[in-house]
A = this chain, B = another copy of it.
Amino acid sequence: MKNAKNIKACITAIGGYVPEDILTNEMLEKMVDTNDEWIVSRTGIKERRILKDPKKPTSYMGIKASNKVIEERNIDPMSIDLVITATVTPDLPVASTAAYIATEIGAKNAFSFDIQAACSGFLYGMSVAKSFIESGRYQRVLLVGADKMSSIVDYTDRATCILFGDGAGAALFEASENEFGYEDEFLQTDGNGRNYLKIDAGGSLFPPSHETLDKKMHNLYQEGQVVFKYAVSNMLEATQKIMERNNLKGNDINYLVPHQANKRIIDSIASKTDIDSDKILMNIERYGNTTAATIPLLLNDNKASFKKGEKFIFIAFGGGFSWGASYLTWSI
């Protein structure tokens, strides 16, 4: 859908944070029955960062990433109107992680809430942030994508423990001062997907109990092949829809910014949309799947290269199922 109004939202600053501790494929070989060659060929992942200190929850990383945004943009945190955190690993179940991050970074005039759209969390959060800017009511919206995946991964399950890492990224959304900014989006969900990618217990369907713990129902479960199939076909459809209705060919796109779940998924989509591999931002090799943090970490690692007017396609797929694509022209 095109925005019918004349205010455009843009990203004016980006920050990122990953923990220092590295979990390599070689280290995983000693923990479960797996090996480096298998992991790299199937997923593209060589290592991930892990926030080892059990006293440090997701907000610890979100605060670090957010403070870098404030520093980069050189703004008073009191000027931030809204803090949104996309996460599947909130610090606590009832108080939002965003509220804690907002207070800790000094954004005391902001209101804040968490959104939950799994691996599409940051992509969806961009849509929420830009809507607040486009409404004209707010000037500065901080979007944080942060996940401590190590808090929900079962490190005895070789199918999932190789995939995930911890990290956080943040982006500041403001009204664009030129013709560039958030252009278009195509976002979709399918609730049947929750049979294939989920954590069974911890919600109202299976509240936590000794039985749910003994049955390992609090850890991430996915049917890898089903998820792979849906991820490729749905992200491809979303990408093609966005490219078609904005008259974009593969050559027109400067950066494809894909959620980092699996290198083979991303390569498959890129090849079918004629987007050259050198235009695809990737960090899965170093970080694994950091869920809501993959996209802002990609932006943070590459921001020095971005130029005004360059065209970005963002894509994601994840739990729900939730997926989509969005189109942004760089504004600063």
In the bound complex, do residue A199 and residue B134 qualify as a contact, i.e. CB atoms below 8 Å apart?
A: no
In the bound complex, do residue A1 and residue B137 qualify as a contact, i.e. CB atoms below 8 Å apart?
A: yes
In the bound complex, do residue A92 and residue B194 qualify as a contact, i.e. CB atoms below 8 Å apart?
A: yes
* Contact residues of A between 288 and 326, Cβ < 8 Å to B: 319-322, 324
Query: What separation, in Å, do the CA atoms of A93 and B92 have in the docked complex?
Result: 12
Query: What separation, in Å, do the CA atoms of A197 and B100 have in the docked complex?
Result: 13
* Contact residues of A between 151 and 208, Cβ < 8 Å to B: 151-152, 185, 187-194, 197-205, 207-208
Assembly stoichiometry (copies): 2
Q: Which residue on chain B has the smallest CB distance to residue A149?
A: B204
In the bound complex, do residue B204 and residue A90 qualify as a contact, i.e. CB atoms below 8 Å apart?
A: yes
In the bound complex, do residue A114 and residue B111 qualify as a contact, i.e. CB atoms below 8 Å apart?
A: no
Number of interface residues of A (CB under 8 A): 85
Chain B residues positioned under 8 Å from A111 (CB to CB): 124, 187-189, 322, 324
Which of B7, B114, B207 has a CB less than 8 Å from the CB of A218?
A: B207
> What's the nearest-Cβ distance from chain B to residue A35, in Å?
28
Query: What separation, in Å, do the CA atoms of A99 and B58 have in the docked complex?
Result: 24
Decide yes or no whether A102 CB sits under 8 A from chain B: yes
Chain B residues positioned under 8 Å from A136 (CB to CB): 3-5, 134
What is the interface of chain A, defined by CB distance below 8 A to chain B? 1-5, 7, 55, 57-58, 81, 83, 88-104, 108-118, 120-121, 124, 128, 130-132, 134-138, 148, 151-152, 185, 187-194, 197-205, 207-210, 212-213, 218, 220, 319-322, 324
